[in-house]
Amino acid sequence: MKSFEYVITDEIGMHARPAGLLVKEAGKYTSKIVVKKGEREAAGTKLLALMSLGIKQNDSITVEVEGEDEEAAVQGMKDFFEGNL
């Protein structure tokens, strides 16, 4: 399993548009992708679960990736967050 932390820079936080794009990006990989905020977590492929985390600007999140293509998935997720959130 691999993981990384990211601080949300988008002034609106994770709203519907970036959450939808995240689900689409996470769906490209066979690895399990989990987004964590504090004690709460959501699968990277579940739109409503991601939005229910209430991720706002300056929140620190952890992204965990586990599976066959975790190297590519971690890099893809890092690129996604840097480009969108």
Element (H, E) at 40: strand 40-43
Q: Please name the residue that has the structure tokens 């590519």.
A: 72
pLDDT band at 40 (very low <50, low <70, confident <90, very high): very high
Residue 6's pLDDT is 96
From the list 1, 7, 15, 27, the catalytic residue is: 15
Delineate the domains of the chain, giving CATH numbers in brackets: 2-84 (3.30.1340.10)
State yes or no: is 21 an active-site residue.
no
For residue 76, the model assigns a pLDDT of 93
User: What pLDDT is attached to residue 68?
Assistant: 93
Q: Return the pLDDT at 67.
A: 92
